[in-house]
Every structure is written in C-alpha cells, then in structure tokens.
Chain A
Amino acid sequence: MPLSIHELLSIDWLIALVVAWLVIGLAGLLAPRNLSFVGKTLYPLGALVGLAVALVAFHALGETAEIAVLPMGLPDLPFHLRLDSLSAIFLLLLGAAAAGISIYASGYLRKGEGTAPGLQSLQYHIFLASMALVLLADDAYAFMVAWESMALSSFFLVTSDHRKPDIRRAGYLYLLIAHIGAISILLSFGVLQSSAGLGATQGAADYTFSHMRATGHDAFWASAAFGLALLGFGAKAGLLPLHVWLPEAHPAAPSPVSAMMSGVMLKTAIYGVLRVSFDLLHHPLWWWGVAVLALGLASALFGAVFSAVQSDMKRLLAYSSIENIGLLFVGIGLALTFQSFGMLTLAALALTAMLYHCLNHAAFKSLLFLCTGSVLHATRERSLGKLGGLIHPMPWVAWLALLGVIASAGLPPLNGFVSEWLLLQAFLFTPNLPHSYINMLIPVAAAAVALTAALAGYVMVKFFAIVFLGQAREESISQHAHDAGWLERAGLVWLAALCVLLGLFPVFVIEKLDFVTRTLLGAGVYETAGDAAHTQNWLLLAPISADRASYEPLVFLLMITAVVAATFFIVRRFWHGRLRRSAAWDCGFPLQTARMQDTAEGFSQPLRQVFEPFYRLTRDLPTSFDKAPLYRVVVEDHFWYWLYLPVARASEFGARMVAFLQQGRISIYLLYSFLTLVVLLFLVRG
C-alpha cells in the first residue's frame, strides 16, 4: 500500500529514526579507524537523529496511542510497538540527551583510547537504538530483545578500554547484575501473562502488553509480578542493594558513555517500573508504595553519604546518580501509595515530581559527566586529589559545570529545585492518607529527603570546588590543561540550556507531563491546579492551588539579577572600582604550597566522622616517629561484605560441589548414564 508522507504516523517516523541510528552505526564499519569520518560525520548525524527523535516524541505527547507491528520476531509473535505518552516523554528525554551527548562525543573522540572509533560508534548507536526500542516495545519478547541489546551494547562500551584489568572487572560485574535483573524481568512478564491460570490455553499472543493489560490478577500474583519487576528494573537503575555495579561501571566507561548511561539508561529502568506498575498492573496495593518508598529513601541516603567521600570525580557522580535514582523511586512510591487509596490527583502530583526529576537528572548528570570528560582529556587525571584551579585554563567547562552543580544540588532557580519542591509538596499531603500508621510515618520520611538534598549540596560543592577552584594540586595539571573544543562546548551548552529552561519554565513542562499522568492515572495536576495556572499566569507554578504553595522561578531570577545589577551599578557610581592584586594572606608563613590546600579526603572528613557506621573504613595512620609517614584511608561499601561476598562464596562452593561429578573420564560419565536409565526405568515401571 503506497503511503504519502502525510499519512505517516509518529511511530513510523520513530521507527525510521531508529533505523537511521542503526545505519549510522553500521556506516562506522566502513572506515573503523578513520577518526575524522566517524567523529565529524557520523556522530553529528547521530545527534541530528536524536534531535528528530525528541521533536517527534514531543509532538506525540498527548496524542492517542499508536501501534505498529514489525514483521520480525517469533513465528506467532511479531514485534509489537506502541507509542503512548509515557513512551513519548522518555523518548523525548532520550532524544534530547542524545543530541547533546552525541555532538559532544564528536569532539571528544581521540586516537588510541580503546576500541577503534568506528566500532565504538556502532556500539554507541546500537545502544541508542535499543534504548528507543525498549521504550517503544509492546510485547515481552520485543522488550527483552531490546533490553538485552541495550545491556550488551553498553557492556561493550563500558569495556571500551578493556586492556585495563579494573575496567574488565567493572564490565563483568555490570554484565552479571544486568542479567540477574533481566531474568527477574522475564519472570515478571511470565507471571503477568499467565494469570489466566495454569490450566488455560496459552498462545504466544499472550505475551503482548495489551493482553497483560487486559487480564486481571489476584493480589498474590500481582504482588509477585510487581516484586520481580522491581527487582529486575531496580538492578538496572542501581537501587539498593543491587547498586554495586554502578560506581564501578560509570567511571570505567568513556565520558559520553557514562553520561548516556547515567542520564538516560537508568531512566529506561524507571520507565519499566512505571510501565509495569501503573500500566500493566492497575490496582496497586498500598504496601507496594511503602516498600518502594523505603527502598528509594535508603538508596537516596546511601548514595548521598557515599558520594560525599569519593575521591574519584566520576565515582562521586556515579554515587550521586544512586542518590537521584533513590529520589525517583521515592516519587514512584508516593504515587503508588496515593493511587492505592484512590487519591488520584495527589498520585499525579507525586508522579509529576518524579517525571520532572527524570528530565532534570538526565540534563544535569549528563552535563556533569561530560564536564569530567573534558577535565579528563585536559589533565589525564581523574583523582580529585591532584586537580584544582581549572577554572583558569578551562572557563567554559567550569562555568557550565557550575550550572550543572547548582542544578544537581537542588538550588533555585535551576531545574533540580523544581522537582525537589514538587516532591516535598507531595509529601506535605501524606498526612491525609486514610491509614493510621503510614499517614504519620511517611511525612517524617520527608526529613530523610531533606537531608539527602542538603547532602547533595555538600557533595556538589566538594566536586566543583576541588576540581575547578583553588590552585592545581600538581604542577603538571595547570601546564597542559586547555579548554574544551567547540563541538564539546556545543554539547555542554545544549545540556546546560536544558537545565536552565527546565528550571525557569516549570508550568510549561508540567503541562506536558500532565499527558503522562493522565494516561497512567487518569488524573493530572495541571488542570486541577484550579485553573490557576491557566487563567492567572504561566509564570506561577502552583500545582494544587496558589493559596497552598507557589513558586515563580522567572520572577525569582529577575529579582536576583536586578539586585545584582543595581548593587553593581550603585557601588561603581558612588564609590569606585579600584582593585589591586597581591599575594593571598599566608598568616606569616611564607612557605605555603598548593599541596597544603584541603584535599578531597580532607573536605569530606567531617562527614566520614558523622556517618561513620555507614562506611567500612580501613585506616592506616602514621605515628609521629615514622620516617616515611603514610596516611591511607579506604572507604568501602558494607554491602560487599554482607551480601555480595557471601553470595559469591556460596556459588563458588556450589560450583565446587558440582565439579565433584566431573571426573573427566568417559567411563564415569557412562556410569552416570547407566544409573540415570536405571532410575528412570524404576520410576516408569511404577
């Protein structure tokens, strides 16, 4: 059937764009070692495709769901694809982030960094395409195929520099946990489709999401499916206690890949949780929400506390991602709890806060990871203990990183604050829950969210101040450092602009997010905002009613700018602008060096003291009489010792037990076959 271009649906465009990403990836194989072809042609094309994905997805928000069936897949089960508002908002996130990250990557590529550029471009674009397919998939098989391609392509990207044993180890850990998660998701889909009862006839068509959506589940099986999905997607998102891969894999990957993984890939897991818990299962039980909330809070606090003590800048950001994922799960938990009690508008408020934070985290965390990439290229150094003073040689990166830092610390008027504000507003409604214990416990949980947000501020000050301010702690750092190239700058500026726009125009964003909450819950915040948002003005963010709470970031920013300008003008007009340079105050001790500044360890030392039980600390302190004093502190995660090592030991023990059977002699194996036959005959006879 010939189709004119006007009849193409959004979903057809998206499929075409996904194919375009794959083609761009494959084109890299034509000249895998040609850096300028891959860097200056393929990646910018990929960025354009990303932009197009974002535009199409933006257009599809709020439209009716579109369905497509691809002639691929299993005999009875071709690939079903579906584009609804939930998919669209995450595709928008993917496209917008990919546009910035790809354009940055085109300037970032260097010779001799691991995998050949063409091959890396293939992996990278398969990664992008598979993430898009995860978001579009409408049956369990297509979803799992896309999910696994995403895991594998990102595994190859993480181990791009596979000659280093640390990186291989990180990649292995990532792959292992990704597969534990994948198995769990698969089982969850199994439970979801089989609810008709074990005796009922089953066909492959049962594995479409529309079938799962249509069937009802009793409380036990629904909880089982939810629990398995939470475990599976939680493993991908870095939810406690399956978070250990995240601080290993993110630093190991090249910076654009870290940005993509942290900014976008973690969100596909969030998408999965939303899809299963709000779309495929309809009636959440209240304790699901509370369990998710508790896990989210634990992850958030854990991530914040650990990111504060990191000395490697990318590990610091990785732990901060765990913190943000925790906050996202807190939002999901609140939304589930509200929904289970039928308080749909409040559920929509919590869900809006959470979706907003998804967009925010994608923007600022990608930005910060890319900034570490520029620092890494400029200095060849990842350890905070050696960096410093980079605002002088790299002003672009430094000032753009400052925007990311302010956003990430949740400070007004940038975007991190908006979602934090919405989340706290949602918490303020929890005393209305019609349940006698949780209506008291959940509001108190807001204290933990507040503490996490404050800790994020501490972490971000540490990150920015140690890397960019002060003086270089090693001589060589300041000599070679140079600012990012213009392509890299373009990527950074794009993401920073997203941070600013998301921060300044929340009403507009919420209007769009409303389509998603309306799809999932049948309620939204924007309409019920008492038409306040509509009729009064579009500057005022007042999710429930203006009387109750409101926030106007643009007025806020204008006010600050006006005061800054007025003060500057008045000071110059009535006094003077005289200034002279001199040495810093040395307290009468002239032999100070740059090494005497506070280090990353020093900056976080108070927190190590306050949160000591959280860490597993190994400390070597020199005595006063040591000839060569050595100070060493190793901060480790208790989970390794409490959970992972016992499990690893148990599986090793099990493997050794099984190995006992493997004697390596053919006669023994024949004996096994003989014994098996005898046993079977014995059984069959009965």
Chain B
Amino acid sequence: MNSILLQFLELVLALALAPVLTGWVNQCRAWLQNRSAPPLLQPYYQIVKLFEKDVVLAHHASSLFRSAPYFIFAAMALAATIVPTLSTDLPFGPAADAIALVGIFALARVFIALAGMDIGTAFGTLGARREMLVGFLAEPALLMVFFTASLISHSTSLATIVETLAHRELVIYPSMAFAGVAFTMVSLAENARVPVDNPTTHLELTMIHEAMILEYSGRHLALIEWAAALKMYAYSCLGLALFFPWGIPEGAKFASLAIGLPSLLIKLAIGGFLLALIETLSAKMRIFRAPEFLGTAFMLAVLGMLVHLLLETGK
C-alpha cells in the first residue's frame, strides 16, 4: 500500500515540480545574464493562461494533431513516474526498464514530429525534420549510457541500477565519467537547450522545438509546454539517479521522505543552476554542427562502455 501511495506521490510531485524547475532554470539564467528574473512560478501562470484561452486550429489540422498533445503529456508523465526519485521500490518500476524509458521518449518524439508535420506548413515540417535529426543520434547515445550503467549493475531495471550505483564504494568509475559527459550532451539536445536549440527563440533559421509546435495554441499548447517541463524534470532526475544516486531512499517508507525529498530538491536546484550556467556560457551552434555534437555524445557513450569492458570487468 505504501509503495502505491509513494508512486502516486511521485507522479504528483513530478507534475507539480516540473514547471517550477523550468521556472528556476529561467530565473538562474536571467540572473547570470544580468537581467531581472521572472517569478519562479511564471511557467505555472503561463500554463493556466493557456488553458483559459481558446484553441485556434488551422484548417488542415487532422484528429492526430488534436490528440497528439494528450499522448505526449501522458508519455512524459509516465517517464517521470518510473524514474526513481523518492523511492526505488515503485509498483510501476517493473513495467518499464531503462530501455523502455528510451522507448517512451522516442514515442513522444515521434508524436510531436508527426503533429508538427500535420498542418503542412514549412515551419512545422522543418522543425520535425530537425527534431528527428537530433533524435536519431541522441536516442542511441542515451541507450548506450544506460547500457554502461546496466553492465555495471547487471540489470536494466532502473531501481536496481540506482541501488547498485548508490551502494558502490566511492571510487570513480571511468566509464561512468564518459557516460556522464555523454548524458549531459544528450540531455541538452533532447530538452532543446542552448548549444543545440534555444527555448526562447522564434527565429526560423535556428528553432527546432518551437518550430514544431508553432501551430499549437490554448490547452494543446499548455499540455505541450507542461510535457516539455516534465521531460526536463525526468531527464534531471534520471541524471541525478544515475550519477548522484546518494540520498534516494530504498524501499517504500514514508519516514525516508524526510531525507529523500530535501535531497532531491537540493540536487535539482544545483542541477538547474548548472544547466543555466552551461546555457549562458555556450553559444548556439549552427544546425549542421548538431550532428557532430551528438555524434560526439554517441561516441563518448560507446567509449564509456568499452572502457568499462576493458578496465572494470577484471577479466
């Protein structure tokens, strides 16, 4: 019973915390760039405002266009649910392991790309094409990061990975260092962050994510914005779970929330600040440099795996 409640709590926490995390990153970025920062809850205001507004739908929009935001939102909610944040003993944990998690992200990406192409304007198709370009390299890189972690922990189940990694002695695995760099690069690309994409741009030469969702408005846009926030939250929690798993309580006890929740919040705050720092320090690159960037991430992830096999298996 406890574990089911905890699972539900984790879902609610993800839904509630995701926009705050986005707001926090925006705030940090504004501070670092000497601008006056928007309020922390600004993404919430935005989402509520969008829910209030009417949907303006293009004439050519099909039913797929209207249903896609719900699918994307559900996929991201599921992803945020199965990443262990508050506990490793989650009833939905066995439903999907690390490979299935990559599958969920891919499912959401396919739906958003299809929705982008549904109206049949140049912007949507351009965005969808670029998104798939980013995706086809980011997805295997992410999978290889998971592979390295799975080879270390002999499991692809996220809970087992986190437990194993949290219990090891404080030795730095060189393979996880490679994997960490690769994961950071993939997360930047997947969440439409600066060196690859710019979440604040609407310039047609550079935008990826924004181009795809240009035709969305009202509640559909609200769901997509929320899903994007959830995706960033899921990726952040995933990074924390893989590379800084200390503090995630094992088993399902409410008492452990006293440690689990504050440590999660602190880690997210630091992670968000670092993300803003990376975004401030780097420049957006040309779209055709993106494959090189992601190819590097892919190679690093594969190298990480090779390093693990060469150095750490002890054969």
Partner-B contacts on A (CB < 8 A): 388-389, 391-392, 395, 402, 406, 409-412, 417, 421, 424-425, 427-428, 431, 436, 439-440, 443-444, 446-447, 450-451, 453-455, 457-458, 460-462, 464-466, 469-471, 540, 542, 546-552, 555-556, 559-561, 563-564, 567-568, 571, 574-576, 578-587, 592, 594, 596-598, 602-603, 605-607, 609-610
- A582–B59 touching, CB < 8 Å: yes
- B51–A571 touching, CB < 8 Å: yes
Q: Within 8 Å CB of B302, what residues of A? A: 444, 447
- Give chain A nearest CB distance to B242 CB in angstroms: 16
- A389–B157 touching, CB < 8 Å: no
Bound CA–CA A427/B56 (angstroms): 48
Q: Within 8 Å CB of B237, what residues of A? A: none
Q: Within 8 Å CB of A436, what residues of B? A: 315
Known contacts A411-B107, A417-B103, A563-B77; is-contact A597 B120 (Cβ 8 Å): yes
- B94–A540 touching, CB < 8 Å: yes
Most buried by A among B104, B107, B144: B107
Bound CA–CA A590/B156 (angstroms): 52
B221 in the interface, Cβ–Cβ < 8 Å?
no
Interface residues of B in 195-242 (CB under 8 A from A): 204, 214-215, 218-219, 223
Q: Chain B: which residue is nearest A572 at the CB level?
A: B219
Q: Chain B: which residue is nearest A448 at the CB level?
A: B140
Extra 19 A-B pairs, beta carbons < 8 Å, given A411-B106, A584-B119, A598-B129:
A424-B143, A425-B156, A444-B309, A451-B137, A458-B135, A461-B117, A548-B154, A550-B157, A563-B74, A575-B219, A579-B218, A581-B57, A581-B58, A582-B58, A584-B59, A584-B120, A587-B123, A597-B122, A610-B291
Bound CA–CA A470/B71 (angstroms): 19
- A547–B315 touching, CB < 8 Å: no
- B74–A465 touching, CB < 8 Å: no
Known contacts A563-B77, A575-B219; is-contact A457 B139 (Cβ 8 Å): yes
CB < 8 Å neighbour of B214 from A421, A585, A594, A607 = A585
CB < 8 Å neighbour of A584 from B64, B121, B140, B151 = B121
- Give chain A nearest CB distance to B39 CB in angstroms: 22
- B56–A580 touching, CB < 8 Å: yes
- Give chain A nearest CB distance to B3 CB in angstroms: 14
Known contacts A548-B155, A585-B121, A597-B125; is-contact A580 B95 (Cβ 8 Å): no
Q: Within 8 Å CB of B95, what residues of A? A: 550-552, 555-556, 559
B60 in the interface, Cβ–Cβ < 8 Å?
yes
- A596–B132 touching, CB < 8 Å: no
What are 15 A-B contacts with C-beta separation under 8 Å? Answer: A389-B60, A417-B103, A454-B139, A461-B128, A465-B113, A465-B117, A465-B128, A547-B160, A552-B95, A556-B78, A561-B74, A579-B54, A580-B54, A582-B59, A584-B119
- B288–A609 touching, CB < 8 Å: yes
Bitwise interface map of B from 94 to 128 toward A, beta carbon under 8 Å scored 1, else 0: 11110110011011011001100111111101101
- A560–B75 touching, CB < 8 Å: yes
Q: Within 8 Å CB of B135, what residues of A? A: 454, 457-458
Bound CA–CA A576/B95 (angstroms): 34
- Give chain B nearest CB distance to A597 CB in angstroms: 5
Bound CA–CA A439/B56 (angstroms): 56
B133 in the interface, Cβ–Cβ < 8 Å?
yes
Q: Within 8 Å CB of B156, what residues of A? A: 425, 428, 548-549
- A470–B137 touching, CB < 8 Å: no
Q: Within 8 Å CB of A421, what residues of B? A: 99-100, 103
B306 in the interface, Cβ–Cβ < 8 Å?
yes
- B57–A602 touching, CB < 8 Å: no
B193 in the interface, Cβ–Cβ < 8 Å?
no
Q: Within 8 Å CB of A417, what residues of B? A: 100, 103
Q: Within 8 Å CB of B52, what residues of A? A: 575
Q: Within 8 Å CB of A583, what residues of B? A: 58-59
Partner-A contacts on B (CB < 8 A): 51-52, 54-60, 62-64, 70-71, 73-75, 77-78, 81, 92, 94-97, 99-100, 103-104, 106-107, 109-110, 113-114, 117-123, 125-126, 128-130, 132-133, 135-137, 139-140, 143-144, 147, 150-151, 154-157, 160, 204, 214-215, 218-219, 223, 288, 291, 298, 301-302, 305-306, 309-310, 313, 315
Bound CA–CA A564/B55 (angstroms): 18
Bound CA–CA A47/B103 (angstroms): 35
- Give chain A nearest CB distance to B224 CB in angstroms: 12
Q: Within 8 Å CB of B113, what residues of A? A: 461, 465
CB < 8 Å neighbour of B130 from A469, A555, A606 = A606
Bound CA–CA A552/B137 (angstroms): 27
Q: Within 8 Å CB of A578, what residues of B? A: 54-55, 218
Bound CA–CA A585/B223 (angstroms): 20
- B99–A454 touching, CB < 8 Å: no
Bound CA–CA A676/B57 (angstroms): 87
Q: Within 8 Å CB of A550, what residues of B? A: 94-95, 97, 157
Q: Within 8 Å CB of A559, what residues of B? A: 74, 78, 81, 92, 95
CB < 8 Å neighbour of A598 from B92, B122, B291 = B122
Q: Within 8 Å CB of B70, what residues of A? A: 564, 567-568
Q: Within 8 Å CB of B74, what residues of A? A: 559-561, 563-564, 567
- B96–A592 touching, CB < 8 Å: no
- A470–B315 touching, CB < 8 Å: no
Q: Within 8 Å CB of B154, what residues of A? A: 548
CB < 8 Å neighbour of A450 from B122, B132, B143 = B143
Bound CA–CA A546/B97 (angstroms): 11
Known contacts A560-B74, A585-B215, A602-B129; is-contact A547 B57 (Cβ 8 Å): no
Known contacts A465-B114, A592-B122; is-contact A606 B129 (Cβ 8 Å): yes
Closest 8 CB pairs of A and B: A470-B120, A598-B125, A450-B140, A563-B74, A471-B120, A584-B58, A465-B117, A454-B139
Q: Within 8 Å CB of A444, what residues of B? A: 302, 305-306, 309
Q: Within 8 Å CB of A464, what residues of B? A: 114
Q: Chain A: which residue is nearest B70 at the CB level?
A: A564
Q: Within 8 Å CB of B94, what residues of A? A: 540, 542, 546, 550-552
- B137–A450 touching, CB < 8 Å: no
Bound CA–CA A585/B215 (angstroms): 7
- B140–A453 touching, CB < 8 Å: yes
Bound CA–CA A587/B51 (angstroms): 24
Q: Within 8 Å CB of B78, what residues of A? A: 556, 559-560, 563
- Give chain B nearest CB distance to A19 CB in angstroms: 45
- B73–A563 touching, CB < 8 Å: yes
- B151–A454 touching, CB < 8 Å: no
Bound CA–CA A603/B124 (angstroms): 12
Bound CA–CA A624/B147 (angstroms): 49
Q: Within 8 Å CB of B155, what residues of A? A: 547-549
- B118–A470 touching, CB < 8 Å: yes
Known contacts A421-B100, A547-B160, A564-B71; is-contact A470 B110 (Cβ 8 Å): no
- Give chain B nearest CB distance to A272 CB in angstroms: 31
- B150–A428 touching, CB < 8 Å: yes
- B120–A469 touching, CB < 8 Å: yes
- Give chain A nearest CB distance to B148 CB in angstroms: 10
- A592–B132 touching, CB < 8 Å: no
- A457–B120 touching, CB < 8 Å: no
Bound CA–CA A585/B313 (angstroms): 56
Q: Chain B: which residue is nearest A455 at the CB level?
A: B136
- Give chain B nearest CB distance to A425 CB in angstroms: 7
Bound CA–CA A469/B68 (angstroms): 13
Q: Chain A: which residue is nearest B56 at the CB level?
A: A582
- A447–B140 touching, CB < 8 Å: yes
Bound CA–CA A586/B103 (angstroms): 34
Most buried by A among B64, B132, B288: B132
- Give chain B nearest CB distance to A119 CB in angstroms: 41
- Give chain B nearest CB distance to A326 CB in angstroms: 16
Bound CA–CA A368/B95 (angstroms): 28
Q: Within 8 Å CB of B288, what residues of A? A: 606, 609
- Give chain A nearest CB distance to B93 CB in angstroms: 8
Q: Within 8 Å CB of B132, what residues of A? A: 457-458, 461-462
Bound CA–CA A583/B120 (angstroms): 12
- A551–B71 touching, CB < 8 Å: no
Q: Within 8 Å CB of A598, what residues of B? A: 117, 122, 125-126, 128-129
